[in-house]
Amino acid sequence: MSDLTDMGQRTASSGQGDAEPLVSVPPNQPDSPPAAGPQDPHFSPFLTSLSALILLGSVLLFVWLQLTVPHLSRVDEPARALALMVGRSMDLEEVFAQAPDWEQWLFALTMSDSAETLPLAVVWYEELADSFPDPQVKLRLAILEGEAGKIDRVRASVQAWAHEQVPFPLYARLLSAAYLEPRIGREEELALQASLAEQLPTDWFYDRMAIQMAAKAGDRSLRSATKDAQISRTEPLVQRARVLAGLQLFCMAAGLFVLGAIVKSRADPRKLRVGAAPVPPLWRGRLGTVVLIRGGALSALVTVALLSMETDSLPVRALAIPLTNLPLLLLAQRYLLGPSGVGWLQGLGLRPLPGAWGRLGQMLMALLAAALLGEWGLGRIAEAWDLSSHWTEWFDGDLVWGSGLLLAVSLVEYVVFAPLFEELVFRGLLFATLRRKYGWGTAGAISAGIFALAHGYGLLGTISVFWSGMLWAWAYEKTGSLLPGMAAHMLNNLLVCATVMALLR
């Protein structure tokens, strides 16, 4: 590889054979060209303007789809998905409610706040009932309302359903026996229990109604048997939740320890260097902007072409992320990295410096801990301001009930391809190009903002992704390598996928 001699880059050497090259980070400076090097290529203003229009149009189309396509249309079998998600969540919370205080604290710290799930479930089922005229959806909503103490709503449903078609009269009788009547006879209770078993699968919704009716009839044996069956059914789920909670707590603790060491060593940048990437980069900011516009437009056209195929082919899906990013990466190689005299490995710090693997691992733990702490803080803010994410933003049917092959393709997408190509584009190209004009904070905020908006989440999801984007931009700035951000991005996505699979699959 050629020496990085342009734009104030320097190689520090103490005269020892094992000395590590250090790349200084120039201060915020205007967009000036390298001291020497090839002239910028001539780009047609017409084609660049056309590319900008295509890119702008694709962004507007994406925003329009996010605003107009209902959340429930983005999930296959939303009724089945929501029943599974709410049922598993409530099962977990009932079991952990009986756990020691320390375990309840751990569960609330790392996974959820049980006080919020039931009210949210009512809201989500209200939305589902308005969109899907499924009798079981309405029954599950009524059960949630009964468990939440909304007895007036249960009574209104019972009165309305008594005169509707089958199966609503039976649903009305079940609800009345479970939530409205002070007592029911033992024989009637047994008949209603049998009818309930025919209407609902064995899950949290079934258990709640069965336990309520058994309590009204004084049927202690059936009530106890139902609770025992619930505990037996959810025990594997509880064990997985404990493992996930313990893993997150360990990552947070280890990462905080490393973060403390990083803060103490901030006066010595050498202790953070992982790669030799020049930040700001060797290419001009204007040239990088043109490449991003043209490459982004081509990537948008490839995305539209893939979507228009309307195919369920697993090979096409597996290659979708690389294919959509390929035009931009080829242009970057042709006009940015190639003429600068560095390749991808050195230009983006993808080859660790000698002896830098330990620093890479430490930075990975620090970034993961910061990401988890950010999620925890965001959760506390969301509780204080009564904010929540829509459940469809994190539910993925392929991870929950997809076949083994489909699951494998999904994991490659989420854990390998998405972090790899997103870091190359958003940090390696976009953030780096912005650094030619702005300081790292401004460049990081702009690139992280675009990165967050590109995911199409709601407010909380957007803030969460923005925080991650800022962390990984900071890591690239300080370490001279995309590897820490890539590794943290991959591990973060792996934890999310593992949580969905462990609790819902």
Q: Same domain for 333 and 445? A: yes
- So what's the pLDDT on residue 267? 54
Q: Same domain for 89 and 66? A: no
Residue-wise pLDDT tens digits, 353-381: 999 999 999 999 999 999 988 888 888 88
Q: Ramachandran region of residue 24, left (φ > 0), alpha (ψ -120 to 50) or beta?
A: beta
Q: Same domain for 53 and 159? A: no
What range defines the domain where residue 100 resides? 76-235
Q: Same domain for 199 and 85? A: yes
* Two structure tokens written together for 74: 């983005």
The answer, yes or no, to whether residue 32 has pLDDT greater than 80, is no
459-479 and 483-504 helices, crossing angle to 10°: 150
- Any idea which of 117-121, 283-287, 377-381, 413-417 has the lowest mean pLDDT? 377-381
Q: What HEC string does 301-339 produce?
A: HHHHHHHHHCCCCHHHHHHHHHHHHHHHHHHHHHHHHCC
Rounded CA gap, 92 and 115, in Å?
13
Rounded CA gap, 235 and 253, in Å?
27
Structural domain includes residue 24 = no
Q: Same domain for 67 and 112? A: no
Q: Same domain for 274 and 190? A: no
- So what's the pLDDT on residue 248? 85
The answer, yes or no, to whether residue 132 has pLDDT greater than 60, is yes
Task: For the chain, report the end-to-end CA distance as a whole number of angstroms.
Answer: 48
Residue-wise pLDDT tens digits, 396-435: 999 999 999 999 999 999 999 999 999 999 999 999 999 9
Structural domain includes residue 137 = yes
Q: Are 278 and 7 in contact (CB under 8 A)?
A: yes
Q: Same domain for 331 and 376? A: yes
Domain total in the chain: 2
Residue-wise pLDDT tens digits, 57-75: 999 999 999 989 999 999 9
Q: What is the mean pLDDT of residues 284-310?
A: 93
Residue-wise pLDDT tens digits, 247-269: 888 888 888 888 787 777 665 67
- So what's the pLDDT on residue 8? 34
* Two structure tokens written together for 367: 């970034």
- So what's the pLDDT on residue 292? 97
Q: What is the mean pLDDT of residues 260-285?
A: 83
Q: How many CB atoms lie within 10 A of CB 27?
A: 8
- So what's the pLDDT on residue 496? 92
| Dihedral (CA of 94, 97, 100, 102) sign | positive
Structural domain includes residue 144 = yes
Structural domain includes residue 39 = no
Q: Same domain for 60 and 94? A: no
Strand residues in 300-405 grouped as ranges (E): none
Confidence of residue 126 (pLDDT cuts 50, 70, 90): very high
The answer, yes or no, to whether residue 469 has pLDDT greater than 60, is yes
Structural domain includes residue 191 = yes
Token look-up 């990013």 returns 325
Rg (CA), the chain: 28
Name 200's Cβ contacts closer than 8 Å, sequence gap at least 6. 136, 139, 206, 209
Residue 191 has, within 13 A of its CA and on its CB side, a CA count of: 8
Mean of pLDDT over the chain: 87
The answer, yes or no, to whether residue 21 has pLDDT greater than 70, is no
Q: Same domain for 99 and 62? A: no
- So what's the pLDDT on residue 150? 95
Confidence of residue 156 (pLDDT cuts 50, 70, 90): very high
Q: Same domain for 66 and 82? A: no
Structural domain includes residue 245 = no
Q: Same domain for 317 and 466? A: yes
pTM metric for this prediction: 0.86
Structural domain includes residue 416 = yes
Question: Of 217, 235, 253, which closes a domain?
Answer: 235
Q: Same domain for 67 and 120? A: no
